Amino acid sequence: MKKIITYGTFDLLHYGHINLLKRAKKLGDYLIVALSTNEFNEIKGKKCYFPYEERKQLLEAIRYVDLVIPEDSWEQKIENVKEFKVDIFVMGDDWRGEFDFLKEYCEVAYLTRTPEVSTTKIKTDLKL
């Protein structure tokens, strides 16, 4: 079984998120999503509309997602890849090169984002 992992906040879930998750799942058999906790988002300077548990419920309801785990720190990625025996680490291409250090442990793939939508744009448009 080929395992995939991706990371993110997944606040204000939209079709760009779904496209990314669908394409990530196509790379393997089992998709793990490491979801940023509220506390980690504060460290990153991000403010979420929905709290962790609600964002987790939304992700768990998506058919492409097999497991949701908490993301508590930047440093946990190597540990997660080893613990879950991950074959491919996936992120949006706006992160290209940032996670190449993981190539020692697994394949790293950067997927093109859906250009016309983003959580930041939605928050700006709604003045959130």
CA–CA distance, 123 with 45 (Å, rounded to integer)? 15
From 22, 25, 26, 44, active-site residue: 44
What the block records as the tokens of 104 is 């020692």
Ramachandran angles phi, psi of 51, nearest 5°: -70, 165
Per the annotation, the verdict on 46 as an active-site residue is yes
Among residues 24, 12, 6, which one has the least CA distance to residue 118? 12
Q: Is the dihedral of CA 84, 45, 97, 93 positive or negative?
A: positive
Q: Quick one: which H or E segment has residue 5?
A: strand 3-8
Q: How far apart are CA 90 and CA 94, in angstroms?
A: 12
Catalytic residue annotation: 44, 46
